[in-house]
Structure formats: structure tokens, C-alpha cells
Amino acid sequence: MKQVGEMRLKGKIIGFEELGDYIFDAPFGEESPFRVLQCIDQPVSFIVVNPYFILDDYNFDIDDQVAEELIGRSGEPDVEETIAVLCIVRPDNKTLYVNLRSPIIVNTTKGRFIQVVLQNEGYGVSVPFAIKEK
Amino acid sequence: MLVLTRKKNEGIIIKGRDGNIRLFLIDTEKGKVRIGIEAPKGYTILREELLSEIEDANRLSAIDNLEKIKKVIGEASGRDET
């Protein structure tokens, strides 16, 4: 999650398929678990969080198709490619909710992301959370 | 919408360029139907209500006023809760 800064990303958020170009930014600083995905064409932004600041053992498999779309033919990232996992945050009054069921997988090297849907029933769509002390 | 009647152990094939999607009626009982599904690579099989739930959550998460939200997140980042 280091050296994110501001970058352009292409990808689709479920329910917002008409939008595909975003700026990925770290307005809260590199050390913050939060990032912002801001649409270029419409006033639509999403707060996203690094889920490992919420759950230590958050993990899932991605299928070959997603890996190919994100990374390329081989499905194996190059050594220098950076893959990040982020979950969308929904602020409601003072409470923050996170969608652990459909994380966004970002290839920051290629500038692409995919929002996947996990089969794991244990991960909720709207889970209240607080950031853990590291 | 195409509507077909199927009995237990009967199937439906949706033929496509990438391969076939196969639906198979496994069992029915008291208003519930168990369906087996086989699909080629590249298809994600989801309960419809889960996808709706995710769409709704995403819509509710979309922010049009970023400045306001930055403040909320700033506070959350600074909080000492565990």
C-alpha cells in the first residue's frame, strides 16, 4: 500500500457499470488505511479501506478469469506488479460500514481494478467496523 | 422471458460460444426448488438477491460531496477505538 499517491484506474463498480474511469488517491495520507476512488466523469466517489486493518485473516481465492482480466494472459503477476485489495466503506452518521463480500482488487501497476463477489458467506456486505491499532 | 416446465432430474442447456451453461433440477419440496448449475470459466453464479444487495450497498456508499466525507474519515482515522 506504499507509494499510492494519485493514479488513474479503469474498472467497474457493481451497480455503476456506466462509469469506468477513476482517480485513485490517498487524501488521508499514505499511512491511513483509507483511500478514495473518485470517478472522473461524474461526481461519484467511494471511500475504500485496506481490509487488513479490520480483519487479520481476510482472505479469498480469485478465479482464473478475474486473474486474467486483472493481470493478463498468464494469470501470474510480474514480480514488479502491485496488487491491492480494498473494500468499499459506507459512512452512515458516525458509523462506518465495510463491504467485505465484494472487495475491489486493484492492479496498481496496470491501472485496473475489478470488484469481485466472493462465495464466502461469512463476509458481510455491510459490516460496522473500527480501525484496529497496529 | 422464456418459461419452461421441467421435472425432477431434467435439465436445461443454455448453449453459448464459450461453452454451455447447464441447469439441472435436483429436487422440489414445499415451494423450494434445488437447482444444480454448471457454467464455463468466466461465469460467476450468484443468488440474485446478493447481487442486488451489493448494488444497493454500493449506491449507498457513493459519495457526491467528497469534502464532507473527508472530515468523517479523518475523524475515524484519528479515533483510538479498537
For the residues A14-18, what does the mean pLDDT come to? 96
User: Hey, CA dihedral for A38, B66, A90, A58, is it positive or negative?
Assistant: positive
Q: Which residues on B lie below 8 Å from A99 (Cβ)? A: 54, 57-58, 61
| Nearest-neighbour CA in chain B from A81: distance (Å) | 23
| pLDDT for position A66 | 86
Q: Which ipTM did the prediction report?
A: 0.87
CA distance A62 to A64: 7
* pLDDT value, residue A47: 94
pLDDT for B27 equals: 95
Interface of A with B in 3-32 (CB under 8 A): 13-16, 27-28, 32
Give me the pLDDT at residue B81, please.
41
Q: Which of B44, B74, B82 sits opposite A117 (nearest CB)?
A: B44
Cα separation, B7 vs A133, whole angstroms: 56
Q: How near does any CA of chain B get to the CA of A68, in Å?
A: 10
CA atoms within 13 A on the CB side of A4: 25
> Cα separation of A42 and A75, whole Å?
32
Choose between A11 and A81: higher pLDDT.
A11
Per-residue pLDDT, A2: 46
Confidence (pLDDT) at B47:
92
Pairwise CA distance, residues A91 & A88, whole Å = 10
Cβ contact, residue pair B76, A131, below 8 Å: yes
> Is residue B37 within 8 Å of B25, Cβ to Cβ?
no
Q: Which residues have a Cβ under 8 Å from the Cβ of B5 and sit 6 or more positions away?
A: none
- Would you put residue A35 in left (φ > 0), alpha (ψ -120 to 50) or beta? beta
Kindly report, residue by residue over B30-76, the tens digit of the pLDDT: 999 999 999 998 888 999 999 999 999 999 999 987 787 777 777 66
Please tell me which residue of chain A has the smallest CA distance to B42. A65
The answer to whether the Cβ–Cβ distance between B46 and A43 falls below 8 Å is no
- The number of beta carbons lying within 10 Å of the beta carbon of residue A23 is 14
Cβ of B20: how many Cβ atoms within 10 Å?
Answer: 11
Q: Which residues of B touch A (CB under 8 A)?
A: 41-42, 44, 46, 50-51, 53-66, 69-70, 72-74, 76-77, 79-82
pLDDT tens by residue, A50-104: 999 999 899 998 888 888 888 876 656 666 788 899 999 998 887 899 999 999 9
A74-77, long-range: CB < 8 A, 24+ apart: A77/A107
pTM score of the predicted model = 0.84
How many residues are listed for chain A in this entry?
A: 134
Specify which residues A92 forms β-bridges with.
Answer: A95
Closest Cβ opposite residue A44 in set B42, B64, B76? B64
Range A114-129 average pLDDT? 93
